[in-house]
Amino acid sequence: MSALTSESLTDKEKSEFMQQIKQEFAIASAQEMLSKMSEKCFKKCVVRPGTSLDSSEQKCVAMCMDRYMDAFNLVSKTYSARIQREHNRM
């Protein structure tokens, strides 16, 4: 089986390949973000696990999730811009 190189791909194939990578990255990133956000915000905000969250725990979890989402979005935008720059170099 021959190695796949960027020289052996047409422009359309390169574009489709990059789109597929972006989609796979988005899915993996969303799954990772949800997992990490749940873990970190639960550890930070829920000190006495029970059958429900009290109002201070609910507020803490909501604020933690908002901060985590903001940071995730910034990293995602930066990474997407880098991928786009790399794509434009091809």
Name the band, by pLDDT with cuts 50, 70 and 90, for residue 72: confident
Is the predicted pLDDT of residue 62 greater than 90, yes or no? yes
| pLDDT tens-digit map of 1-51 | 445 555 677 888 888 988 999 899 889 978 988 899 999 999 999 988 889
Supply the pLDDT for residue 5.
57
| Residue 18 dihedral angles phi and psi, to the nearest 5° | -65, -40
- Give the Cα separation of 17 and 23 in Å (integer): 10
Supply the pLDDT for residue 51.
92
Supply the pLDDT for residue 11.
84
Q: How far is CA 4 from CA 1, 15, 79, 87, in A?
A: 9, 15, 24, 17
Supply the pLDDT for residue 83.
87
Torsion, Cα 35 78 62 36, to 10 degrees, reads 20
Name the band, by pLDDT with cuts 50, 70 and 90, for residue 67: very high
Domains within the chain, CATH numbers bracketed: 10-87 (1.10.287.810)
User: What are the E-state strand segments in the chain?
Assistant: none
Name the band, by pLDDT with cuts 50, 70 and 90, for residue 80: confident
Torsion, Cα 37 41 44 50, to 10 degrees, reads -130
